[in-house]
Amino acid sequence: MEFSLSATQAAVQQLARKFADERVAPLSREMDEQGAMPLALISDMAAVGLLGGPLPAEHGGGAWDKVSAALCYEELGRVDSSVRGFMTVHSSLVAQCIQQWGSVEQRRQYLPMLISAESIGCYCLTEPNAGSDAASMEATAVPDGAGYRLNGEKIWITNGGIAQLAIVFASTDRTLRHKGVGAFLVPTNAPGFVRRKMPGRELGHRAADHAHIRLENIYVPVDSMLGGPGEGFRVAMSALDHGRLGVAAGAVGVAQACLDASVAFARERRQFGQRVGDFQMIQAALADMAADVEAARQLTLRAAWMQDQGLKSTRATSIAKLFAVEAAVRAANEAVLLHGGRGYTNEYPVERYLRDIKGLQIYEGTAHIQRIVIARDLLGKDTVP
Ligand SMILES: Cc1cc2nc3c(=O)[nH]c(=O)nc-3n(C[C@H](O)[C@H](O)[C@H](O)COP(=O)(O)OP(=O)(O)OC[C@H]3O[C@@H](n4cnc5c(N)ncnc54)[C@H](O)[C@@H]3O)c2cc1C
């Protein structure tokens, strides 16, 4: 059993840490207040090699292993969940999915553009009436000549307002449920691709872009299909294996950030003539947080390692996502309390960590759905919910 990082993995960690601390951290509060992420930041992520990191060298990627990708997501997540979320969707849900399922031509056409950020990707699965139960989707793909006509509605689509390329899931036969789903690569400038910002002010991830998308009779040629006919649900679920690892690692980053902020505050703030960190109750909170961070990190890196070995890793990845996110929820909750009134304002970052972490508990399968995936694997049932 080897717990140390290879030189390549340590270099990726350093690269991501430097980018997070020097390039993202100074912008985080302003991005959260303004509700947007500068496109220049995305180009910079591409320029330093982060966006293409998990992709093969032949298309211009960094050929990172999964452990390296997890280390990168942890570093970004430690500083800003909106930025980490952008990259998880773009690089893991979209680009890695094209790498895994795309034809030689699709990979050649799309991966270099995604790696360089010339094209931004989004993943369109959720619908108003199909969230956790994605197989009940109502969007349709009806054969039309040498292609398909897509109709339907997608919601909560991260990067949806700024993306040039969408992976759209739609049913070619609704009676077949998940076996009738197709995945399609759709340019967002296709006639009938109508998008607007999600309504309402969001609790967290305020710098992220979340769109409501209408598919109004969009024509796509048959070679825009990713995977074969009826394989779309498998495409969607395998993308979630990549994405959930990114979310788990991002949650480790959030938990670590809560611990770092809490230790610094407990050392500095004095009450009753001593540092608040000298009170045993505060020490216990910090110790529990540190134990949670370590456990979450080990579970996440183990799931990443299993993916690297080509082992069946759906259960391990769901366990990592479930535990790491719940650990980060506990850490953020405690961190706000530990900061007292100061934790309640955005003068300190911990209130943003608490708002953001709720998003990780919901997307790419809620905490309830992760428990279902784990339990079905334990009980020997099909892992598709
Ligand atoms: C910030 C953010 C970003 C997102 N980005 C994307 C994106 O890029 N692409 C995309 O396609 N979607 C995206 N989503 C959507 C997200 O994946 C869904 O919100 C999520 O899958 C839950 O679906 P839902 O909101 O319809 O909730 P529902 O499925 O309606 O669930 C409501 C509640 O019921 C629970 N529940 C449902 N079924 C069961 C069950 N069988 N057993 C027990 N409890 C159950 C859920 O856990 C939840 O607590 C995003 C969401 C958020 C908040």
The domain limits of the chain are 7-120, 122-230, 233-379
Helices (H) and strands (E) in the chain, counts: 12, 10
Beta-bridge partners for 212? 196
As a whole number of angstroms, the distance between CA 335 and CA 259 comes to 7
Secondary structure (DSSP) of 81-147: HHHHHHHIIIIIIIIIHHHHH--HHHHHHHHHHHHHTSS-EEEE--BTTBSS-GGG---EEEEETTE
User: Is residue 385 predicted with pLDDT exceeding 60?
Assistant: no
pLDDT at 54: 96
Give SS3 for 352: helix
| Strand boundaries in the chain, DSSP class E | 121-124, 140-144, 147-158, 165-171, 181-187, 193-197, 210-221, 225-226, 270-271, 274-275
User: Is residue 384 predicted with pLDDT exceeding 80?
Assistant: no
Q: Which of 127, 153, 334, 364 is catalytic?
A: 364
- Tell which atom from ligand 1 comes closest to the C-alpha of 122: 8
User: Is residue 40 predicted with pLDDT exceeding 60?
Assistant: yes
Cα 9 from chain centroid (whole Å): 20
pLDDT at 241: 87
Q: How confident is the model at residue 383 (pLDDT cuts 50, 70, 90)?
A: very low
Burial class (CB in 10 A: 0-12, 13-18, 19+), 348: buried
Establish whether residue 157 lines the binding site of ligand 1, counting it when its CB lies within 6 angstroms of any ligand atom: yes
CATH classification of 7-120 is 3.40.50.150, yes or no? Answer: no
Establish whether residue 123 lines the binding site of ligand 1, counting it when its CB lies within 6 angstroms of any ligand atom: yes
Beta-bridge partners for 270? 275
pLDDT, one tens digit per residue, over 5-20 is 999 999 999 999 999 9
CATH classification of 233-379 is 1.20.140.10, yes or no? Answer: yes
Q: Give the rounded percent of residues in the chain with a pLDDT score beyond 90.
A: 96
Using an 8 Å Cβ cutoff, are 81 and 356 in contact? yes
Long-range contacts of 63-66 (CB under 8 A, 24+ apart): 64/8, 64/12, 65/8, 65/9, 65/304, 65/308, 66/245, 66/304, 66/305, 66/307, 66/308
Atom 23 of ligand 1: nearest residue by CA position? 131
Q: How confident is the model at residue 318 (pLDDT cuts 50, 70, 90)?
A: very high
CATH class of 122-230: mainly beta
User: Is residue 90 predicted with pLDDT exceeding 80?
Assistant: yes
User: Is residue 343 predicted with pLDDT exceeding 50?
Assistant: yes
Choose which residue among 80, 81, 156 to substitute to test ligand 1 binding: the one with the highest number of ligand atoms within 8 A of its C-beta. Answer: 156
pLDDT, one tens digit per residue, over 91-120 is 999 999 999 999 999 999 999 999 999 999
pLDDT, one tens digit per residue, over 57-74 is 999 999 999 999 999 999
Using CA of residue 137, residue 143, residue 146, residue 150, what is the dihedral sign? Answer: negative
pTM of the shown model:
0.97
Q: For residue 42, which of 33, 52, 32 has the smallest C-alpha distance?
A: 52
pLDDT, one tens digit per residue, over 207-231 is 999 999 999 999 999 999 999 999 9
User: Is residue 188 predicted with pLDDT exceeding 80?
Assistant: yes
pLDDT, one tens digit per residue, over 228-278 is 999 999 999 999 988 999 999 999 999 999 999 999 999 999 999 999 999
Q: How confident is the model at residue 382 (pLDDT cuts 50, 70, 90)?
A: low
Active site residue 364: yes
Establish whether residue 359 lines the binding site of ligand 1, counting it when its CB lies within 6 angstroms of any ligand atom: yes
Establish whether residue 73 lines the binding site of ligand 1, counting it when its CB lies within 6 angstroms of any ligand atom: no
Using an 8 Å Cβ cutoff, are 247 and 369 in contact? no
pLDDT, one tens digit per residue, over 136-180 is 999 999 999 999 999 999 999 999 999 999 999 999 998 998 999
> What would the two tokens of residue 164 be?
């040039």
Give the chain's mean pLDDT. 96
